Amino acid sequence: MKKKKGKIIALAAMLCVLGILVGATFALKHYNKVREEEKNKDTSVVVIDKSSLTVTSAEITTKAGRLSFSYVNDEWVYDDDEHFPVNQEKLSDIAQTLSKISASVEIAPDRQGTEAEYGLDAPGVRAVAAFSDGTSVTYLFGDINSYNNCQYLSVSGDDNVYLTETSVAETLAAKLDDLCRSEAFPLTADGIKSTDVKEITLKTADGKTNTVNDSDGIDELLGYVKVLNLTSRATYYANAEDMATEYGIDSASATVTVKYVKSTTYTDEDGNDYTGSDDVSYTLRIGKSFVQSLKEADGTEGSETCCYYSPEGSDMVYYSDSASVGAVFDFIDYVPGEGSGAAEED
């Protein structure tokens, strides 16, 4: 009887241990689940959410100065110059940023230090946004907290101070030139190769012309023309008078005209896409030369002769070194099979 009783006690002990293990397993699973939920839980604090409204104006002040934009007739306009070609996508990003901001930390008034401790007494970025409901909000971005690399933020009408991502202020603090709409350079944007080009016609200011239409000539000349790729902008707006007097670009200017075939996707009446081709003509007008001062990497000063140019129909003016422009017009005397040194005049 004692032996049987001992077996029963041992079995009971094993069952007890098994029960403890099962319970511990369930407890561990629950603990891990809670930890995972906490880990995935959005702990951000909504500072402001006016995303259902339209931003009607945005004023941003940094150490570089003040920029102000207004939303008029469904597009952004630079208040200081109506001719400034605003990059609408970038201004929309700024408006979206001003409409909704979240923070990782909220500091209530009873736990706050002074404005100077947060850099809010002299903010690096100050933004003011007006909304379609008639309200206006001012945002002040102060110092960056070295512990979590977040930036202190205060918002008008809210006594709290927040810590938000530095990318918020960085988006708002764009320079004016970064907010300028760039013109596309068709020869690059359309992916034009020499085999797509039918001909390239050069015309000098004194009326001399030459059309290059052989494959070897086009292949070589196109490479030089592509250097004039609208990279260095002299001005974003020039009226006809300024274009002629200041930049030397008018109806009598030298020109470079590239005629090429561009592949285009069309949609038929049944909604099916098909690829077709268009004949395109792209002309650059060449203006006068000027001397630009340069500063070398070692600090020494120098100069470079440059030349203004502008796409036909554009009010933007660009410039390139005169050597690059000269390389194009070396082909004014080009004869197929003889290179660019032989003369041919129409």
Q: Return the pLDDT at 67.
A: 98
Full-model pTM: 0.75
Query: With bands split at pLDDT 50, 70 and 90, how would you rate the model's confidence at 55?
Result: very high
Q: Return the pLDDT at 273.
A: 78
| 60-69, 99-108, 199-208, 292-301, range with the lowest pLDDT | 292-301
Q: Return the pLDDT at 235.
A: 96
Give pLDDT tens digits for 89-118: 999 999 999 999 999 999 999 999 999 999
Give pLDDT tens digits for 240-271: 999 999 999 999 999 999 999 998 777 878 77
Rounded CA separation 175/327 (Å) = 34
Query: With bands split at pLDDT 50, 70 and 90, how would you rate the model's confidence at 43?
Result: low
| 77-86, 199-208, 270-279, 289-298, range with the lowest pLDDT | 270-279
- Answer yes or no: is pLDDT of 35 > 90: no
- Answer yes or no: is pLDDT of 29 > 60: no
- Answer yes or no: is pLDDT of 297 > 80: no
Give pLDDT tens digits for 333-345: 999 987 775 444 4
- Answer yes or no: is pLDDT of 326 > 80: yes
Percent pLDDT > 90 in the chain is 76
